[in-house]
Amino acid sequence: MDNNQLEKQKQSLTPDTGFNLVGIDYFEDSNGQLYLVEHFEMYQDALKAKKDRKNPKDYFILYKGSNGEFLSH
């Protein structure tokens, strides 16, 4: 996946508030590899949901930092 496309997808899936658990579909074309799994209000809930997945490395958490920067974990 092109890094520029990945960053655009991450930004479009990053919520203004809370935390989004996002998955990666390796079989989809590069414009739609990321998809929203679930939105959480608390980081701990998003992290638990990620750890409970069969392959946690195929998921990440998107959120905005205190200065509005796009962050992922």
Query: Domain residue spans in the chain?
Result: 3-72
pLDDT of the residue at 30: 66
Query: Contact at 8 Å (CB) between 49 and 40?
Result: yes
pLDDT of the residue at 5: 84
- DSSP string covering 5-35, please? HHHHHHHHH--SSSEEEEEE-TTS-TTS-EE
How high does pLDDT run on average in the chain?
91
pLDDT of the residue at 4: 83
pLDDT of the residue at 32: 73
C-alpha 18/C-alpha 9 separation (Å) is 17
Per residue in 19-67, pLDDT (tens digit) is: 999 999 888 776 678 999 999 999 999 999 999 999 999 999 999 999 9
